[in-house]
Chains A and B, each alone.
Chain A
Amino acid sequence: MAKLATKKISPRYRPLSQIATATYDASAEELKTYYRQMLLMRRFEEKAGQMYGMGLIGGFCHLYIGQEAVVTGIQAALRPGDKVITGYRDHAHMLACGIDPRAVMAELTGRAGGISKGKGGSMHMFSVEHGFYGGHGIVGAQVSLGTGIAFAEKYRETGGVTVAYFGDGAANQGQVYESFNMAELWKLPVIYVIENNQYAMGTSVNRASAEGELYRRGESFRIPGRQVDGMNVLAVKAAADEAVAWSRGGNGPILLEMKTYRYRGHSMSDPAKYRSKEEVQKMRAEHDPLDQAKKRLLDAGILDEESLKTIDREVKEIVADAADFATASPEPEPSELWTDVYA
C-alpha cells in the first residue's frame, strides 16, 4: 500500500468550523423577553400535548419542548423582512415569529380559524406576513426551499437573510448538500440551523451519521460552521448574531449546529424507548433552557419570584385563550375542500 502523502494544506484553506463559546450580553429587557417567549412555547406545547390526548388534535403532532432556546435566540438576531423556514416541528417557530397563538392552535385542531384554514395541520403552517414559509412535512425539503427563498432575497437585493432550520435527521438528506453547494457557489444569504436534538425519531446521531459533529458538515462546500450550546439562549443569540452578520454581509451561507434536546417523543405516538429516563431527566435537571434563563433573571435581580409568577399567569392565559379559540372555532365549510388548489 502506498504511503499516504504528507498532508498539504491548500493556501485557500481556512479553519471553517469551530465550537462557539461566546454568550450574548443581554439587557434585562431582552432577557425577560426571551424567558417569556420560551415559556409561551413550553406552555403552548404542553397544552397541545394535552389536547392531542383529548382527541382534539389529530394525526402527527411534534412537540418542541426542551428546544425553546434555539428558535428564541435565532429569531432575536433577525430583523423584520428576514425569512424563516423549518420542518414539521414548527409550532414554536411560529410563536417566535410573532404569529397569533390562536391561529396556530386552531390549525392544530383543524378548524376554520387555523392559519391554513384547517387544511394544513401541525406540519403545514405558513404566514407570509410574518416571513414564515412553513412548516414542511418532507424531511430536508425545507433546506432547498429555504435556499431558494434566500436566492430570491439576493435576486431582489433586499438585504434580507433566510434561516432554514432542520434537524439532525434531515442533515443526512442528499438535497441538503445539493443546497449547500449552490448556496456557497452563489453566496446566498442563508443561515442553516441544525437543531441537533440527538435523535432522528428513534435513531441517535451516532447510529446515523458517519460525521456526528454536524457543524462540520458544510466544510467540503467551504461553508463555515459553529457548534453551539442550544440549551442556552444567550449562546444561541451570540452565534446567531455572528451568522446574521456573516450572511447579511454578503459572505454567503453559514451553518449553526445547535446542540439541543427534546424531552418528549419524536411525535405524540412515540414512547421514546430508545433512550433512558435518566438521560432525559439529566438534561431537564441540568440544562433546561427555561431554568437557565430563570436563574439568570433571579440572580441578576431583574425579576423576583412574584414577578415570575405574574409572567407565568399571563402566559397561561394566552395559551388557555388559544385553546378555547381552537376548540370553539368551527370546522371548515365543506366548500373549503375545493378552494386554494389553484390561483
Chain B
Amino acid sequence: MNSIAANEIKTLKLSIYRYDPLKKEKPYMQDFDIDIPLEKDLMVLDVLMLAKEKDPSISFRRSCREGVCGSDGLNINGKNGLGCITPLSDAVRSNKLSIRPLPGLPVIKDLIVDMKQFVDQYKKVKPYLITDKKVDTREAIPQTVQEREKLDGLYECIMCGCCSTACPSFWWNPDKFLGPAALLQAYRFIADSRDTATEERLEQLEDAFSVFRCHGIMNCVSVCPKGLNPTKAIGEIKKMLVKRAL
C-alpha cells in the first residue's frame, strides 16, 4: 500500500514545462500549488488535470487513463513514464513534482511532442505479418502454445515512446537508429512462427545504424511502463545478424 506516503502530501509544488510556438517567449517552467485530497494516492495525470482546471491552456495528451493507450508518456521528475499509472507516492520527491515533455523529440506545445520520427521508425520495420504460409480464410494459421509464448513481452508495446526518448543513441541518430520501440516491434515479427520474412527483415537491419547503435545502455528497460525488455529483443536481433554474417 502506497497510500501512507501520499497522506503526507498536502499542497504539492508542481512545475510544468510550458511552450507556445506562436508566442515569442522561450519555454519556461510554470509553478502551481496543487491541493491533493489526502485519502487517495493520485496519479500524475490526475494532478495535471487539476492544474488544467486552474489554467486551461496547459496542453497534454491523454486517453485511457489506465496505462494501455500510450498517450501520456511524460518526463516525470527526470524519468520517462506514463502519467496515468505513475502514482505520486512513486514520483514525488521532497513534495516537488516537475513534469516535462518526453526528451529528444521536437516539442509542439507544452507537454506535447511531435511523434513523427518515432512513428516513421516504427513503420520502417514493416510492423505487420508477412507470410507465405497457405492461408485458408476458414481457419487460423496453426501456432503452438510454446511458439505463441515467444511473443510474450514483445506484442504488448503501447507505442508511448518512453523508451526511445530515453535512449541516448536515439537522441543522437533518431533518423538512422531505429530505437528500442521499433526494434522491439521488428523482433515481435521475427519471433512470430507464422511470419516467413525473417531473411528480408534481417537484411533491412544489417547496416551500422539501424540496430548496432544500441550500446546496451538499458534506459529503455528501466523506463518501460509495461515492464518490457527492448534491450533483450535487440540482443536477439544482433545475435541473428552476427550468425547470418558468419
Q: Indicate, yes or no, whether A interacts with B.
A: no
Question: Which residues of A come within 8 Å of B, CB atoms?
Answer: none
